[in-house]
Chains A and B, each alone.
Chain A
Amino acid sequence: MSSKRIVTCTVNGREESFLCKPQQTLLEVLRDELDLTGTKEGCSNGNCGACTVLMDGKPVVSCLVLAVECEGVELETIEGVADHGHLAPVQQAFLENAALQCGICTPGFIMSTKALLRENPNPSEQEIRFYLAGNLCRCTGYDKIIRAVQDTADHKIA
């Protein structure tokens, strides 16, 4: 049997060390070891984007990352988005635009949106749709999500 490893990385600005086996995905460790259950599991094979987190600032699907690969990296998850209990503008925009129904896709969409707006503060609708193509939503039909992203970019939400 493979032995457990100690991995040290930054999660939402705090240094964390955790024990994990080589075959544990980052998604499993976030949810089951670090109790960060805001990151969701949809497909477990990279297709749905529900498990999206930012690794050194870039969106990745945490179901296709081994936790042992995270030594020394910076991770951002949905738990780090709100500011001291106050919704961040992107979260407020999702709420106000009714950009979610069941909500399982939302943490992934919000993490992808954060990365998009950092790279490109004024994306066109086409750019938003392409950037978010790796995030699937079975409920909203996407239009409301696109509007929420546009409102966040336009600073319509304080």
Chain B
Amino acid sequence: MRDFEFEAPATLDAAVALLAEHNGTARPLAGGTDLIDHIRTERLTPDVVIDIKKIPELNILEHSADGLRLGAAVSCSRIATDETIRQQYSALADSASIIGGIQIQNRASMGGNLCNAGPAADSTPSLIALGANCVIAGPNGRREVPVESFCVTKGQTVLERGELLVEFKFPARPSGSGSHYRRFIPRNEMDIAVVGVGASVTLDGDTISDARVSLGAVAITPLLAHEVNDALIGKPATDETYKASGEVARSIINPITDMRGTREFRIHVTGVLVERVLREAVARAKS
């Protein structure tokens, strides 16, 4: 591998100062499951690698009346085994338990998954469906950006030079809500999503009072599907509603053809997955 220097700052201020000092030639390291291979293959050529896993703010996992705070470097294994996340933010646990195999889940973080900005990233649709905000720290202080606005294009995010993703903030889950993430892959595990769908619904009796659906791998960045949300809110939680929402999802995407699937196949699968994910999210909302 290419030469680089290594730093492991213990505080957020020190990490931001290091990133600023190296002005674009430094790269944060969380679990390294994307970064190390990107350096090895010289897709990225940082002069300094900054391990951010020792910073307390990036390792926070805290539930309160305000919702959930999840540090950007928390591993997928920790997310998938947190009982409150499994119950209240189930879509997040779904994503965390399908990213790679166990070896990858023990290292990979959702901050890394999002900052890598892949169109098929498996945690992003869940983060979007659950309404997460990104807390960003940089030389000019802090700012917050909703996850659906974080990826600008494939491989590029809103992070400016010297900025770091610190944590995700999720609103508290209203009673009667449920969520789910599911992807289509040709195998049972260890593959990249052909299509991925995350959804969160809130029920008022048998009526869907709120919904957020997010689609992955069907556009250059994962999408918040406003039109699908509109097709759900105020409707009864029935198979007809899910089917109609699947049709709406098919009509708003513009996927590509690649080795994982043709455009037509992706459009078809998107509708099927939207239906299935909604059915499961509603079942979880009721249980």
Residues of A that sit less than 8 Å from B by CB: 1-2, 5, 21-25, 44-47, 49, 52, 55, 58-61, 63-66, 68-69, 71, 112, 115, 129-135
Are A23 and B106 in contact (CB-based, < 8 A)? Answer: no
| Cβ–Cβ < 8 Å partners of A46 in chain B | 33, 37, 100, 103-104
Q: Contact between A133 and B3 (Cβ–Cβ < 8 Å)?
A: no
A22 touches B103 (CB 8 A): no
B49: interface (CB < 8 Å): yes
A-side contacts of B37, CB under 8 Å = 45-46, 64
- Chain B residue at smallest Cβ distance from A135: B101
Minimum CB–CB distance from A87 to chain B (whole Å) comes to 24
Given contacts A23-B39, A64-B36, A133-B101, contact A2 B5 (CB under 8 A): yes
Say yes or no for B102: interface residue by CB 8 A criterion. Answer: yes
Given the known interface contacts A46-B104, A60-B103, A134-B101, the answer about A2 and B188 at a Cβ–Cβ threshold of 8 Å is no
Interface residues of B (CB under 8 A from A): 1-6, 8, 29, 31-33, 36-37, 39-40, 49, 51, 53, 77, 100-104, 106-107, 188-190
Beyond A2-B3, A5-B6, A59-B102, list 10 extra A-B contacts (CB 8 Å).
Answer: A22-B4, A22-B5, A46-B104, A60-B103, A60-B107, A64-B33, A69-B32, A112-B102, A131-B102, A132-B101
Chain B residues near A1 (CB, 8 Å)? 3
Check B3–A25 contact: CB distance below 8 A. Answer: no
With A22-B5, A134-B101: A69-B106 Cβ-Cβ less than 8 Å: no
> Distance in Å from the Cβ of B265 to the closest Cβ of chain A?
24
Q: CB-nearest residue of chain A relative to B1?
A: A23
A57 to B281, CA, bound (A): 34
Question: Do B6 and A133 touch across chains, with their CB atoms under 8 A apart?
Answer: no
Cα A130 to Cα B100 with chains together (Å): 11
In the bound complex, how far is the Cα of B53 from the Cα of A60, in angstroms?
A: 16
A-B pairs, top 3 by smallest CB distance, nearest first, are A134-B101, A22-B6, A23-B1
* B36 with A66: CB separation less than 8 A: yes
Q: Give the chain A neighbours of B188 by CB distance below 8 A.
A: 129, 133
| Chain B residues, Cβ within 8 Å of A134 | 100-104, 190
Q: Are B32 and A23 in contact, with the CB atoms below 8 A?
A: no
Chain A residues positioned under 8 Å from B1 (CB to CB): 23-25
User: Do A52 and B103 touch (CB < 8 A)?
Assistant: yes
Q: Which residues of B contact A129 (CB under 8 A)?
A: 188
CA of A60 to CA of B4, assembled, Å:
23
Indicate whether A59 sits within 8 Å of B36 (C-beta atoms), given known contacts A2-B3, A49-B101, A133-B189: no
Given contacts A65-B107, A112-B102, contact A133 B190 (CB under 8 A): yes
Distance in angstroms from B101 CB to nearest chain A CB is 2
Complex Cα spacing A56 to B285, Å? 37
Known: A23-B39, A64-B37, A133-B188. A59 touches B4 (CB 8 A): no
CA distance A145 to B214 in the complex (A): 38
Q: How far is the CA of A106 from the CA of B189 in the complex (A)?
A: 20
